[in-house]
Structure 1
Amino acid sequence: MDRRQVLAGAAAGLAVGAAGCVDSFTSLDGVSYGREPALVADRPDAIYYPTHTEEMATGGMAMTDDGLAVSVSYTFPHRFWRVFNRDGGYEAEQFGVESDDAVHIMANIWDAETGVVLPVSSVDIAARGGNNVDERETVYAMLSQRMGFHYGDNYHLDGDDTYTVDITIGATTARRFGDFDGRFGDPQTVTIDLDYSEATRNELTYETYEDRQGEPGALDPMSMEMDGMSMPTGRVRELDGTALGTGLADDIRYAAAVLTADRFGDAPYLAVTAATRYNELVIPSMGLAGTLTDSDGEAVVDSASLEPALDPELGFHYGTPVPDATGEETATVDVTTPPQVARHEGYETAFFETPTVELS
């Protein structure tokens, strides 16, 4: 696991309640690292209620020259899962809390005007301060039931101090439409001065869910605000144009439409959204292919690759031009690569089946 040396800001916490609290940290020296309950023994191959949630402390916020809002928050260090391709199959591998982890850092990035999250960039965090901390690392794109899409990782701290943090958002890899065309194409860096207090971290609370943990379902996303601005969790948006239907498979909810607005070009545009079954949070980093079949059973387009895209109205989605589409076709979606995004507890066992989904 890549080591991270970084800071965290101490400010007002985003409370999630203290019922069923787990003991908080007492010291970085000799502490029993991590305060998480044991995982549910028989987790379903689906989205499920996690064992607990953690209070978060908000850190700081800044704006890029390109109109992106960037916020930083933190909580206790905790386990998460990354996806790997091994022996021809995909699986989630748990990354636990290590002895020098002090916090889990989370960065939210979104377009300030439209609230569209940016799930298609690399994000680096460089921290300077403390006892000669001066390090840059790349954090992981993540899905959380409470935070939705964000970037994060566990980090080492070096005591209480004010740290200078440079957050660099890499150029987006997604196709962009409308007012997003020509934006987000260059790396953007913001600097946030953040105070970290071990005492503030120690006061963060847990809430456990003994009565629901391991059952199919999901917690509601939290309402988050910083500096008077609401932070979006990345809920999927409704598609304009001619709807082709919806479908549900492997706890992913799909919707598709054919759009002919000028911003999508001369050809009709096939747009597909992929979201979590519960709360409809965007799922990035998938490989998707779409097929449109006319009333005679002939393929108007067969297994066309659907590329990640950003649009001020549609938000994040997958799409491709289809010159002969009319919106009267039957649509199917194939998962060519399961979501590569890292997962918080409750998502790590889902999204690994790859059925063909016919929308209706």
Structure 2
Amino acid sequence: MHRRTFLRRATVLPATLAVAGCAAPGTGTDGSDGSTDGDGNGDEFRDGAGTAPIPRIEDPPEAVYLPGHRKSMRVLEPVAAGEYALTPMLTYPHPFWTVTGTDRHRVEPTAGRGVHLMLVCWDRETGIVLPGDAEPRVTIMRRGERIASRQLWPMLSQEMGVHFGDNLTLPADDTYAVSVDLPPLPTRRTGSLADRFTEGGTATFEFTYDRAFREDVVEGIDLLERERWGDRGALEPMTHGGDGSANAALPYSALPPAADVPGTRLVAPDAEAGANAGSLPSSGDATVVVTLLEADSRLADGEGRYLLVSPRTPYNRVPLVNTSLRAAVRRNGTGVGDGSLELTATLDAAVGLHYGRSVANIGPGDSVTLTIASPPQAARHQGYETAFFDMEPLELVVPPA
């Protein structure tokens, strides 16, 4: 499909302020998939009416899937905020899904001028992207007047990984100043991160919103082949800025491959006999790496072996932030220890974000039931908004020594 043909036929989405976050275009109110006839030709966004043509996917699977396009965005220079580093990004506003418990809600942007502001929060020393529980507050100023002030939402994106974002309405073409306030990182930290991010940080940066910006983000939209829309899969991570320069490098929150996660790998019961050998457990289309480390591991507290649970997206290994998990150990059908135990979100420079705790009296042959008490409480970009909801418990076994 040629670009001009697509622009004539695609639905156009209003581009400014919504309540918060970003996520997925879904089926239109008329049931269309975004390829029905329409009047949008892309000029509405360039001229400031605030629309950008992006495809809608009809009946996406309840799993990670390919959206119809890659976003175009402007990546700004990284800025320091105390021990934090921030990489700001700007694109056109678009619909998003918020998540509360197991409920998701689509929020449409309203008409007018605006941007979708995103921040990747990371550590310069280790390069690790920080999780979504230290939500930054941004204040937008124009010529000394405050335009908006709000807390950004933690988000999951195939291209950007874990980040924070929101749609922002803007009154006019101009240069805007943004101040960012970050709280101390509440996540448990281990290893080289143990004593860091105990204080918050502040940062400032500027961006220009004008016709040239609008042309760039619309002209930069990259359409996938129509036949691939909605297929199982994921877009590749965007690891550089739009200009490809090294100083616009964009950190990405990929977790280590399963083979690099330390400890004894727990397996499904039928894997003991060789069935599904090497495969990883999955729930709600999330891949879950589960290992058991010795009591003297730096991750453990000395009270027992450390149970490490690392849920991630199935293609790009993005950590499933703000998830609640519990574990119960059984031996010969009888519960061991204190019953169902809550796992603690933990950030480690080598292992990344995971959920874990020390468990006393656990050994070969014991079974472990992992229960996902709540799915990732993060807003979603297109391709993630239908996944990671119907997450059934996982039954695993500690293999023989």
SS in 2 for 1:289: strand
Using the TM superposition, give the Cα deviation of residue 265 of structure 1 relative to its aligned residue in structure 2, in angstroms.
2.1
- 2:300 is the alignment partner of 1:283: no
Residue 52 of structure 2 is matched in structure 1 by 34
User: SS where residue 362 of structure 2 aligns?
Assistant: coil
C-alpha distance 3-279 of structure 1, shift in aligned 2 (>3 A)? closer
CA distance in 2, matches of 1:328, 1:125: 51
In the other structure, the counterpart of 1:13 is none
**What does 1:101-250 correspond to in 2, within 5 Å?**
101-119=113-131, 120-130=133-143, 132-204=145-217, 205-209=220-224, 210-224=226-240, 228=247, 230-237=249-256, 238-245=260-267, 246-250=280-284
| Correspondence for 1:261 among 297, 302, 314 | 297
1 CA distance for matches of 2:189 and 2:100? 28
Whole-Å separation in 2 of the counterparts to 1:65 and 1:327:
45
- 1:34 and 1:278 map into 2 onto residues whose CA distance is 28
Match of 2:350 among 287, 294, 313: 313
Give the AA of the match of 1:132.
E
1:36 maps to a residue whose letter is I
Select the structure that is richer in strand: 1
Alignment of structure 1 residues 31-110 onto 2, 5 Å: 31=49, 33-37=51-55, 39-66=56-83, 68-85=84-101, 90-110=102-122
Which piece of structure 1 moves more, 200-209 or 103-112? Answer: 200-209
Q: Which amino acid aligns with 1:208?
A: L
> Per-residue displacement from partner, 1:26-54 (whole Å, max 9, x unpaired)?
222xx2633222x2221111111112222
Which of 262, 274, 292 is the aligned partner of 2:329? 292
State whether residues 182 and 200 of structure 2, in contact with CA within 8 Å, keep that contact through their aligned partners in structure 1.
yes
Point out the structure with max Rg over C-alpha: 2
Structure 1 distance, partners of 2:80, 2:330, is 45
What is the rounded CA distance, in whole Å, between the counterparts of 2:365 and 2:251 in structure 1? 34
Instruction: Point out where structure 1 has 5 or more consecutive residues left out of the alignment.
Output: 5-20
Q: Percent identity?
A: 30
Q: CA RMSD in A?
A: 2.4
TM-score where L is the length of structure 1: 0.85
TM-superposed deviation, 1:305? 0.8
Q: How many Å apart are 1:108 and its aligned residue?
A: 0.2
Amino acid in structure 2 at the alignment position of 1:324: N
Aligned partners of 2:178 and 2:159: how far apart in 1? 25
1:254–1:273 CA contact under 8 A, matched in 2: yes
Q: 1:109 to 1:299 in 2, by over 3 A?
A: same
* Greater CA drift, 250-259 or 236-245: 236-245
CA gap 1:181/1:170 in 2 versus in 1, 3 angstroms:
same
Deviation of 1:157 (Å): 2.0
Paired positions, count: 335
Cα pair distance change 1:271/1:59, threshold 3 Å: same
- CA deviations on 1:269-325 (whole Å, 9 max, x unpaired) are 21110101122111111111122334x344445321111111111111111121223
Q: Distance in 1 between matches of 2:367 and 2:125?
A: 35
Distance 1:27 1:35 in 2: 14
Greater shift, 221-230 or 342-351, is seen at 221-230
Unaligned runs of 5+ in 2: 1-17, 22-39, 268-279
Going by fraction, where is helix more abundant, 1 or 2? 2
1:206 & 1:231 partners in 2: Cα distance? 18
Moved over 4 A (4+): none
